[in-house]
Amino acid sequence: MDLLKGYADEDEDMKPSEEESSDPSNPSGHGGAAAAAAEAPSSPESGSSSSPPRLSLGSKSSAPSVDETALALTAAGSARSAHRPLDPTQHAVGFNPTYDQLWAPVLGPAHPFAKDGLAQGLRNHKLGFVEDAAIQPFLFDEQYNTFHKFGYATDPSGLSVVGDLDTLAANAALSVYNLPPQEQKRRRLHLKSRDHDADADAGAGAGASSADAENPATDDWLLKNRKSPWSGKKEAVQGELTEDQRKYAEAHAQKKAEKEGRGEGGRGDKPELVVKSTFHGKEERDYQGRSWIAPPKDAKATNDHCYIPKRLVHTWSGHTKGVSAIRFFPKHGHLLLSASMDSKVKIWDVFNSGKCMRTYMGHSKAVRDISFSNDGSKFLSAGYDKNIQYWDTETGQVISTFSTGKIPYVVKLNPDEDKQNILLAGMSDKKIVQWDMNSGQITQEYDQHLGAVNTITFVDNNRRFVTSSDDKSLRVWEFGIPVVIKYISEPHMHSMPSISLHPNSNWLAAQSLDNQILIYSTKERFQLNKKKRFAGHIAAGYACQVNFSPDGRFVISGDGEGKCWFWDWKSCKVFRTLKCHDGVCIGCEWHPLEQSKVATCGWDGMIKYW
């Protein structure tokens, strides 16, 4: 009871102090409470009669404090960004934009280097940014022609119409390609009635205008022959010849009469081609009686190691058209034989004067291929006049001529010393023809290819030969036996117009028309060596010659851009390229003795020595 009484007295004592603190006349409630607290210990009565004072603590929260300023700024920024267009340069969007924002035009200051304010990265057309529209050509033509005829067209989106809406409503939104059935019927009836009226008019005035109807220059003839392909076009009636036309006709008739008088008019009578040869050197024999084709005595290899040429040494420019093939004189290389599209074959001095020594003129059309005999005293030439000529290199005389009536694409002598009288020729009629030049008779025909034969390469000690053709295949033959012993054809293969044998006779390099050089083994299986592939040049469409250096360390080839490419045999990497010709670099030959000398020929008519 005493305890309860003490609490009640304390409450009565606290009430006046609360009234004082709530009194408006008191300037500070906290000051009154402090004064009461200061008087409390000074009165012994209150201290003895009341319980110990209570301490009131402020309320606390265990949640972390939150900075509401940043939250408010973020909310305001997102609200503001929800109403402005997107920045096209940003890569991430932090909110879900509306359709209007996504397709809003680009706003902002004008670009300093763009006329219309579009940055350079945003334009895909010289006038700005053009969107791709997937529309078929027929639909585009339909709307284009409809707009130019009627004045309206459908928008590419298909949701609206552009142009004259009144005409659109009058035509029921028809295009030029879908006329209504009643319109088609009306036009058909109109044409029929017009034809009927024309026929009636023609019947009525037939007697009077029969002469006019027969004259193509009159309108009556046009009405009568309206159904002809030339209806609506007046044919010009041939008038008198002008003075120039009459002179030309008389001159042409006179030339024709002269040709017929000489016997040149018939198709079967071909003028006889005069075979001749011109020597351009100083003398055909020197003071010791040696022939001009005799190799120099000091011509021998100085080193077995070959090097890539770096600069141009000499240029031969005697041909008037492109050069199709070049061949060095066998073993010594002191002379260079060239075949050209001007129907001439020339032989050039390499070591001394560097001039043309002799010109062989025996073909009436371009010369396709040439091939030396083993000792170089004779050579073969194949021309587009369908003839194969066997020449004496020294005198320029034609020893014999061979022809099957087809174009020979490649000619080759059997490399065996005892078979130098055997001639092989790949023809345009898919055959390889074998002649015995002593008798002039065809002794064998190898007829398996499905296209014109491009190359003949002897392998395996000349017991076999490999041929390539336009049928994109390789065929291996036993010499003298017209049966294919190996047929190489794959779906991925291309035609191989040039093949060369490696100096060690173990590999064949084939120029494939898919811009690469493939290597085939010459062993029993003739497998493709997939680890060796030489690429980088552009030879597609051209029969660019591929060749090897005498030591076999480098592969060389021309290309369609006039360059000569050198690859390393072991690593298959491009070693060097030389810009050799203005047109196609069709042929390239490494000198047999001088290790760093290469000859190239091109369709610009030049032969260059590097």
Query: Residue 461 is part of a domain; what is its CATH number?
Result: 2.130.10.10
Residues 97, 103, 108: CA angle, nearest 5 degrees = 95
**Domain containing residue 398:** 306-609
Specify the DSSP element, H or E, that contains 137.
Answer: helix 137-150
What is the spatial distance between Cα 425 and Cα 364, in angstroms, rounded to a whole number? Answer: 19
Q: Is residue 471 part of a domain?
A: yes
Q: Is residue 493 part of a domain?
A: yes
What is the spatial distance between Cα 593 and Cα 170, in angstroms, rounded to a whole number? Answer: 90
Residues 275, 280, 282: CA angle, nearest 5 degrees = 135
Beta bridge partners of 338: 326, 346
Q: Which residues lie closer than 8 Å to 129 by C-beta, 6 or more apart?
A: 118, 122, 123
Q: Is residue 166 part of a domain?
A: no
Three-state DSSP state, 476: strand
Q: Is residue 175 part of a domain?
A: no
- The parts of the chain modelled with pLDDT lower than 70 are 1-53, 55-58, 77-85, 88, 105-134, 198-213, 222-239, 261-273, 298-303
Could you give the C-alpha distances from 204 to 192, 201, 601, in angstroms and in order? Answer: 19, 5, 79
- What is the pLDDT, as a whole number, of residue 81? 64
Q: Is residue 468 part of a domain?
A: yes
Q: Is residue 328 part of a domain?
A: yes
- What is the pLDDT, as a whole number, of residue 553? 85
Count of the separate structural domains present in the chain? 1
What is the spatial distance between Cα 265 and Cα 268, in angstroms, rounded to a whole number? Answer: 9
Tokens of 609: 């020595």
pLDDT per position as a tens digit, 480-539: 888 888 888 888 888 888 899 888 888 888 988 888 888 888 887 788 888 888 888 888
- What is the pLDDT, as a whole number, of residue 200? 66
Q: Is residue 29 part of a domain?
A: no
Task: Indicate the residue type of 276.
Answer: K
Q: Which residues lie closer than 8 Å to 308 by C-beta, 6 or more apart?
A: 554, 566, 575, 576, 596
Q: How many helices (H) and strands (E) in the chain?
A: 11, 31
Q: Are 135 and 154 in contact (CB under 8 A)?
A: no
Task: Indicate the residue type of 415.
Answer: P
Q: Within a 10 A sphere around the Cβ of 420, how many other Cβ atoms?
A: 15
What is the spatial distance between Cα 213 and Cα 440, in angstroms, rounded to a whole number? Answer: 70
Q: Are 386 and 403 in contact (CB under 8 A)?
A: yes
Distance of CA 58 to the CA centre of its chain: 86
Q: Are 596 and 567 in contact (CB under 8 A)?
A: no
What is the spatial distance between Cα 557 and Cα 566, in angstroms, rounded to a whole number? Answer: 7
